[in-house]
Amino acid sequence: MKLALVCSHGGHLTQMLELMEAFEGHETFFLTHDSVRTRKLENAYLIPVIGTNIWRMAMSTLRIGKIFWRERPDVVVSTGSEIAIPAFFVSRLLGTRTLFIETWARITSPSGTGRIVYFVADAFFVQWKQLLNCYGPRAHYEGGVF
């Protein structure tokens, strides 16, 4: 399958890189933010940081729409953060399957992104057992990156 690996450029990317073994045997490309670090990634689409700005969120949705239209990934995998929101929204429109892994940084309270994508993700994992209490029955705990 072709997998889109979607994450922001700091700790979320570090977590994605820790999980690369799970994606062996599949074709992958990254969708992340532009930074010193991500410019060295192979097969990466780099888009500006989004934050909570609605305008940038809308622009990102269009950019991601174009990228996914061209790449046609079979599954979109994300470790957060907010870049997952437009990516999962576009995936929903294109009928692409989505897999979300809540950040290891969240132990007892969900992230803003997790709260939103919980409702659209086809599979949803948290990395701390305690966090299951904050999500519904579709959230799974199966260990964590560290």
Partner 1 sequence: MIFVTVGQHSEGFPRLIQGMDEVAGRIQEEVVMQIGSTTYLPCNARWFRFADYEEMKLLNKAARVVVTHAGAGSIITALKAEAAVVVVPRLSRYAEVIDDHQLELARELSTEGRVVAVSEVEELEGVLQDVTRPKLRSKRANRLIRALRTCLEEFEQD
Torsional sign, CA 63, 67, 96, 9:
negative
Q: How far apart are CA 96 and CA 12, in angstroms?
A: 22
Specify the stretch interacting with partner 1 by CB under 8 A; choose among 58-66, 86-94, 123-131: 123-131
Q: Does 145 bind partner 1 (CB under 8 A)?
A: yes
> Do the beta carbons of residue 68 and residue 43 sit within 8 Å?
no
What character string, x for contact with partner 1 (CB under 8 A) and - otherwise, covers 28-57?
-------xxx-xx--------x-x------
Residue from the set 44, 57, 59, 99 that interacts with partner 1 by CB under 8 A: 99
Q: How far apart are CA 38 and CA 58, in angstroms?
A: 22
Residue from the set 46, 57, 120, 123 that interacts with partner 1 by CB under 8 A: 123
